[in-house]
Structure 1
Amino acid sequence: MSSKIYFKKSRGFDVRRKLINLTTSLHHRLAPEHAKRMARKVLLTPVRSKKMVAEPMGMEKKTIATSEGMLMTYSLGEGPTWVLGHGWSGSSRQFFSLMEHIAASGYKALAFDNPAHGESEGRFGHLPGFIAAFDSVLEQQESIAGVVAHSMGGAMVLESRHPLLQDKPVLLVAPVLNYTENLVSTVAQSGYSMKLFHEVVDDIAEQYQYPLESINPMDRLEGREAKAVIVHDRYDRFASYTHSELASANQHVTLIATEGLGHGRILQSDQLKSGFDLLIKGEH
């Protein structure tokens, strides 16, 4: 259900959107606690992808204990570690092609399924939980060489304050740099009761001590000093290319623009591999 909210853009008057607003608002008025429980299911339940992708030869899978439950990790190759984080309703399987490239370049690629995604535990997903899971993965590494992140995973990485990230390069794929604005506007466009939405968000903010208004991936990216490469399709319907273009005005940020790859196919592109090559250039 949540993917239909977050990944469907509506334009103009929409009868279905109006009905959703009327029914969720009425539900909230008549049975507020039940309405909030239902809202958590609708707003925080990602779609677990059932798409089968052949695992690369030599791939190692292992579950690890984190603050967000048991997470499935996938590692390939030997050498300095690049950590890969996916976005909403995604999974590590989206990275298999890039992981092969990273391994062939003399590094270890380590991906993980976020809570309630892929083969990891969990029922609900949200950005504070993503960040906590990511930090837990980093805690179990002695060092890292860099990070790759897709979509909402980009906000996860940029919002993390983990010390291992301090001077490390990042490869951002179709990042949602205007995360808060994008989240609020897409839920509003869906017609869902904004009062219910804010109650659910406020509960998460209190649990994780992470207010929604404090989330600003664009500012975090601009404040970094390490190199960053963004690979983004000009016509991405789900993550703002314009914000990636604005970010590229910073000297430490390089933008690789694509066309016709959208929000998902870009993960299998040669341009993405070129973005990784650009970050490691000169290290060998």
Structure 2
Amino acid sequence: MSSPHVSAAPSSALDSACRAFSVPQRIQPSSLERSVLAQAQHSTFPYVDGDISVWSLGLGPRVLLVHGWDSRGSHLAAFVEPLLRAGFAVTLFDLPAHGDSGGNLSSPVHAGRALAALAEHLGAIHSVIAHSLGSAASLWAFAHGLKVSASVHLSGPSSLSPMLQLQALGHGLTLEEQGEFSRWVEQHIGIPPAEMDLPALKHGLQHPALIMHDPSDRVVPFAASADLHRHWTGSELIELDGLGHRRILTDPQVIARSCALLSGTHKAGIQP
């Protein structure tokens, strides 16, 4: 696994951009999240980038909840009880270098590979509900063999290249540094960044999907979800108001709409 760029000046903009792309913060669960996790069956999935912590609840078709950057699986805890009431089994997990999972480095590709590996280990997956980075990871996994009956995408980036441009601008990189940053990212993720863009991923978008995003989101531009919707024939795009990037995870209407899509596809007998 590659390590973040360390320049002669450790506080340089390029060094900061590389670290921001590859080294997430570990977030502790809230007391409410801990109470949800305490009701779950905890297991550890051995994985090359670091053992993955997994929590499962309920019986029925399995729904995987996929968290974002600087986050953890329990941040989607508000979805658990409604999904259980709807007759689904629910699995939450911490991506590599996040939460209680092992590893020190991550990326959208690292996350996508971990999601695909865990899904294969668990067996049949009915659907995925994914936030932010988790949505990008899901798109990668769909393009590389993960089959589901439905998925929900919340405030997610849909192509890596524009997000790299935004990150480079946010760190004030010069044109030369932007080129070096792009080359470093390619080395870190092991593929050209363009392979994480929608034209390379859209063949995996074969199932019904619900895309929800607040146009005022300051973390991931709404344009990413609009672009995903344009590439995804079987998707519905809902513009949210006043939820920003993270409040979407606890909004009752967002949760209800997500459960309705998953229940509808299950009742209709839609198969992966």
TM superposition score category, shorter chain reference: 0.7 to 0.9
Contact 2:139 2:204 in 1 (8 A): no
Indicate the residue corresponding to 1:270 in structure 2: 252
| Alpha-carbon shift at residue 271 of structure 1 (Å) | 2.4
Q: Taking structure 1 as reference, are residues 48 and 183 closer, same or farther at Cα in structure 2, changes over 3 Å only?
A: same
Q: Which amino acid aligns with 1:264?
A: R
Q: How is 1:11-50 mapped onto 2 (pairs within 5 angstroms)? A: 28=7, 31=8, 40-50=18-28
Normalising by structure 1, what TM-score?
0.79
The superposition leaves residues 35-82 of structure 1 with CA deviations (integer Å, 9 ceiling, x where unpaired) of: 898875454211111351423262222211122220111112111111
Residue 253 of structure 1 is aligned with which of 225, 232, 235? Answer: 235
- Shift in CA distance, 282/155, structure 1 to aligned 2, threshold 3 Å: closer
Distance across 1 between alignment mates of 2:15 and 2:228: 38
CA contact (8 A) 2:216 2:242 kept: yes
- The structural deviation recorded for 1:244 is 2.0
2:106 is paired with a residue whose SS is coil
Q: CA deviation at 1:201?
A: 1.1
Structure 1 residues 247 and 129, CA, compared in 2 at 3 Å: closer, same or farther?
closer
* Contact kept? 2:62, 2:125, Cα under 8 Å: yes
* Partner residue, 2:98: 117
1:84 correspondence with 2:72:
no
Contact 2:67 2:131 in 1 (8 A): yes
* Structure 1: distance between partners of 2:187 and 2:160: 18
Counterpart residue number, 1:202: 186
> In terms of mean alpha carbon deviation, does 154-163 or 254-263 score higher?
154-163
| Contact 1:227/1:279 (<8 A) preserved | no
Matching residue's letter, 1:200: W
Deviations 1:236-276 (A, max 9, x none): 11112133234435541112221111100101112222123
- Kept in 2, the 8 Å contact 1:48–1:90? The answer is yes
Distance in 1, matches of 2:10 and 2:138, equals 33
After superposition, the Cα gap between the structure-2 partners of 1:243 and 1:45, relative to the gap in structure 1 and judged at 3 Å, is closer
Residues 1-284 of structure 1: matches in 2 within 5 Å? 28=7, 31=8, 40-54=18-32, 55-56=35-36, 58-160=39-141, 161-165=143-147, 167-192=148-173, 193-205=177-189, 208=190, 210-217=191-198, 220-221=201-202, 224-249=205-230, 250-273=232-255, 274-281=257-264, 283-284=266-267
* Aligned 8 A contact 2:69 2:132 in 1: yes
Provide the TM-score with structure 2 as the length reference.
0.82
Q: How far does residue 32 in structure 1 lie from its aligned partner after superposition?
A: 9.4
Question: What is the CA RMSD across the aligned residues, in angstroms?
Answer: 2.8
Q: Which runs of 5+ in 2 are unaligned?
A: 268-272
Q: Which amino acid aligns with 2:245?
A: H
Secondary structure (helix, strand or coil) at the match of 2:266 reads coil
Aligned 8 A contact 1:171 1:276 in 2: no
Structure whose CA Rg is larger: 1
Indicate if the aligned counterparts of 1:47 and 1:117 stay in contact, CA closer than 8 A: yes
- Checking the alignment, whether the CA contact within 8 Å between 1:235 and 1:262 is kept in structure 2 is yes
Aligned partners of 1:127 and 1:271: how far apart in 2? 27
Identical pairs, percent = 25
